[in-house]
Structure 1
């Protein structure tokens, strides 16, 4: 039986290696799996070194999808990008699995279960003033809620130290992606998407309130929503629930009428 290829999309400031264990688990039964790392952690050419917006990210993702249709598995900002891409290019996407990806990352009048705007602003300014310290704080937030939070924090910080971050003082890519994240609103894309969509959330996520799961389930009843143990990196603690869902969808199950 043939399966759709699977493409994992990493989150903001997170190297592809953060999703490697999930990729290996999915590849165990010989499915075609690849990882897309968002811009900002590798040195870009001078021509590419610029602020990004959703359109440039969509183009960036499209250029890295070598087989279509595919199952997109997006983490956080990567999930928002996967959702937008699927709504914009329905023929290219067989299904979407979002990992800790909110409809709006920051609270607004129409979406309460999200990050406090004051906290986000502090984080944004911290990134502008002290990149290294702020990224260390970010790894701790990602690891919060895990039963192995200290080990997970260390693992993420090691991955970041191995990434090409020295150029970030001159390159504003991560800051521009953070700006996109702060202004994100995927509710229209959620409503437009026609392929099967599953949203998986960590019960103890310090970046995406678990209340987002209930809100998405209520506002988008055609979407599948599940809350799992763990924090923002719940799939690193226990990849099996994610693997099970991705396998189901990559086999063509869960299709909806278009």
Structure 2
């Protein structure tokens, strides 16, 4: 098995949101080095990929949750053979729906959320925690746990992340990356529709696409053991191959 896995957090959340997954991976695979990185805090979205390129070790597996998965896909395509493989968790190649990718958050819903964030960032982040927890076993408890893991980022940096969610399209990056890929979706995700999993098969037919039953967008925190088991099974397949 490859010996290093990099985890990128999702929009608005700090590394603490991925700590349960990191702990589960350490318990199930003690020999695997796992590093959790926050998303960049720069207010200019065009600089984020360069920041990650400079920060993240090469020749490791790249994994990311939601926006973190989209950025990991871009970086994997850029690095090519300098990336062992790519794993995304609850991550849509296109987050804001358009005519060529309807399996995403409706554009008007996203735009309304973005405007609400501009008007009242604190209240909108609370709502985002609720949306992230929806579909889980205990959504109320999960929402409180997520609230604690929110990143200490400026509104400008958070706004930059929303801009990336609005405009990123990583389908070409996924198709260009020749390494092994796993894309894990959540059956009850309120932010990434399950239809994206089926649509993704047409983009990367050789990739492994899986769905975790009974899970919502907050699966790395609430279903850490299950996510870890899925990721490790994929890594073992890569080693055997």
Task: Report the TM-score range of the alignment, normalised by the length of the smaller protein.
Answer: over 0.9
Shift of 1:254: 6.3
CA distance in 1, matches of 2:177, 2:212: 24
Report the equivalent of 2:217: 232
Are residues 1:197 and 2:178 paired?
no
CA distance in 2, matches of 1:187, 1:103: 6
Report the equivalent of 1:59: 50
CA contact (8 A) 1:71 1:250 kept: no
Report the equivalent of 2:40: 39
CA contact (8 A) 2:19 2:221 kept: no
Are residues 1:164 and 2:165 paired?
no
TM-score for both structures, normalised by structure 2:
0.92
CA contact (8 A) 2:14 2:152 kept: no
Q: Deviations over 1:82-124 (max 9, x none)?
A: 1111111112211111001111001111101000100000100
Report the equivalent of 1:242: 227
Q: Secondary structure at the match of 1:22?
A: helix
Report the equivalent of 2:60: 70
CA distance in 1, matches of 2:99, 2:193: 16
CA contact (8 A) 1:205 1:232 kept: yes
Q: Deviations over 1:216-253 (max 9, x none)?
A: 01332111111112110123222234223432444571
CA gap 1:106/1:22 in 2 versus in 1, 3 angstroms: same
Number of equivalent positions: 238
* Aligned counterparts, 1:102-181, within 5 A: 102-160=92-150, 163-165=151-153, 168=154, 171-181=155-165
CA distance in 2, matches of 1:32, 1:197: 19
CA contact (8 A) 1:96 1:195 kept: yes
